[in-house]
Amino acid sequence: MFYQVFEKKTLITHRLKLKTSWVVLNNQQVSLTQTLRLQKMLHPLILSDIKKLVSAILDKSVPQTKKEHYLGVIHTHFQKLTQITGFETKIAYLAAIPTAKGKALGLNHAAQCLLDHKRTIKFLDAIIQAIQEKQRTYPDECITLFYAGCGPYAPLMTLVAPFFDPKEVQFSVLEINKYSLESAKKLINSLELSAYIKEYYLADAVTFQVPNATAFHILISETLDALLYRECYVPILFNLLPQFDKNTTLIPKNVQISLSLSTNKVAITRNKEVVLATIMDVQETILTYPDHRNTPAHLPDKKIDLTSLDIDKYDAFLLDTKVHIYNDIWLYRNESSLTLPMTLPLVHPFQKKSIIFTYYIAYDIGLKCRFE
Ligand SMILES: C[S@@+](CC[C@H](N)C(=O)[O-])C[C@H]1O[C@@H](n2cnc3c(N)ncnc32)[C@H](O)[C@@H]1O
């Protein structure tokens, strides 16, 4: 008997759980500088304003609430330029897009990712740091980034490019959803960022052959959800990593899923928890496939022996997703929709000897488990 660890509905709920920060024109919190106050919110922001907002967002001394508010200001501006709010009811904007393996998030949910605040902040921090590190390593080169899955706002390009000169960084942008790609292009043109773009591709990153792939310094693909459910991060890596140079920096670098026992069916901090095992480490697993191009239908089973555990003391299994973005930048439990924990309640008396996890990469992507 297999259990799908995540239900379809759950994913949608996760994405909708994102807090939205709306900009209220008379909100006293709008205080980055006097120049960025109400007047700027009524008139288009210019690139230097976006750079100021992102600098404040990345400044460790700025309180989180303010950072979230500044992201809201950026979101409002992007909405005006693209006419995409992330909350439209058009079917074309709601629908997930089938890929060769797994599904790409619908346009609305992809737009809302901008407001997954800690996620966006940490990714921006990571990408700017990664570019600066590459500049130190390759001082005479223009740093090139391949961005697979840009969504309608391409925030990991539009909010990063203003920190550099187009002679210093160039992006190739790929997206499977034509409405998202159209919106990203419109935004990039409106923000006058086209000089930073090398190429646009409307394509499936699970199968796409990247022209001159070894020339790229950085590969970005935030195409994942908690428990690596349904989205394409793993098959995208199986396809893209062998094409790129081994020194290409991948962002996010890795995803790990761990299994714990918990004294509570709800994942809260005062639970007593004991970590049993890492049931998935994407980098480690992919490295075990010498010919990654033949993406397997599933990854090897991970069996955890339960016989030596005092399982009666616990009420649930707990599955945690940790995202290693870059260097010491990680997303931990509950910091983002990507790291929401999942509990599997235990029914006592519990008499199973082991729990076995299998990650499927065939059409329905996801982690399944069974007991023996
Ligand atoms: C989670 S959203 C992230 C959007 C944006 N990069 C951000 O950080 O806010 C993932 C995006 O990747 C795209 N995507 C997912 N799988 C893809 C695939 N196989 N090929 C191309 N694009 C894909 C989705 O359509 C979606 O726009």
What per-residue confidence (pLDDT) applies to 32? 57
pLDDT in tens, 193-207: 999 999 999 999 999
* Ligand 1 atom nearest to CA at 113: 9
Residue nearest to atom 27 of ligand 1 (CA): 151
What per-residue confidence (pLDDT) applies to 47? 85
Mean pLDDT score of the chain: 88
The pTM of this model reads 0.90
Average pLDDT over residues 175-181: 96
pLDDT at residue 3 tops 70: no
User: Which tokens go with 330?
Assistant: 């990680």
Q: What is the distance between the alpha carbons of residues 372 and 360, in angstroms, rounded to a whole number?
A: 19
Distances 84 to 46, 87, 110, 113, 175 between C-alpha atoms, Å: 19, 8, 11, 13, 16
* Ligand 1 atom nearest to CA at 204: 20
Which of 307, 215, 314 is CA-nearest to residue 263?
Answer: 314
CATH code assigned at 109? 3.40.50.150
Q: Assign 268 a pLDDT band (cuts: 50, 70, 90).
A: low
* Ligand 1 atom nearest to CA at 120: 8
Split into its structural domains, the chain has a count of: 1
Q: What is the distance between the alpha carbons of residues 97 and 104, in angstroms, rounded to a whole number?
A: 5
Terminal Cα distance for the chain, rounded: 10
Q: Domain containing 214: what range? A: 3-371
Average pLDDT over residues 3-13: 41
What per-residue confidence (pLDDT) applies to 11? 36
Whether the CB of 226 sits within 6 Å of ligand 1: no
Q: How many CA atoms lie within 13 A of 112 on its CB side?
A: 22
Q: Assign 267 a pLDDT band (cuts: 50, 70, 90).
A: low
What per-residue confidence (pLDDT) applies to 36? 55
Q: How many CA atoms lie within 13 A of 55 on its CB side?
A: 11
**DSSP assignment of 176-203, as one string?**
S-HHHHHHHHHHHHHTT-GGGEEEEEES
Average pLDDT over residues 51-70: 96
Distances 323 to 89, 164, 227, 283 between C-alpha atoms, Å: 31, 26, 10, 11
User: Which tokens go with 158?
Assistant: 């539009």
Q: Please tell me the distance between residue 265's alpha carbon and the centre of ligand 1 in angstroms.
A: 32
Residue 200 near residue 185 (C-beta atoms within 8 A): yes
pLDDT at residue 27 tops 50: no
Q: Name 322's bridge partners.
A: 256
Which is higher by pLDDT, 78 or 271? 78
Q: Please tell me the distance between residue 71's alpha carbon and the centre of ligand 1 in angstroms.
A: 19
Q: Please tell me the distance between residue 47's alpha carbon and the centre of ligand 1 in angstroms.
A: 24
Average pLDDT over residues 78-90: 88
Q: What is the distance between the alpha carbons of residues 16 and 101, in angstroms, rounded to a whole number?
A: 23
Average pLDDT over residues 327-333: 97
Q: Is the dihedral of CA 329, 118, 135, 173 positive or negative?
A: positive
DSSP 74: H
Whether the CB of 236 sits within 6 Å of ligand 1: yes
What per-residue confidence (pLDDT) applies to 40? 54
Whether the CB of 99 sits within 6 Å of ligand 1: yes
Average pLDDT over residues 43-68: 90
Whether the CB of 181 sits within 6 Å of ligand 1: no
Which of 81, 105, 100 is CA-nearest to residue 16?
Answer: 105
Average pLDDT over residues 19-48: 48
What per-residue confidence (pLDDT) applies to 291? 67
What per-residue confidence (pLDDT) applies to 319? 96
Q: Please tell me the distance between residue 195's alpha carbon and the centre of ligand 1 in angstroms.
A: 22
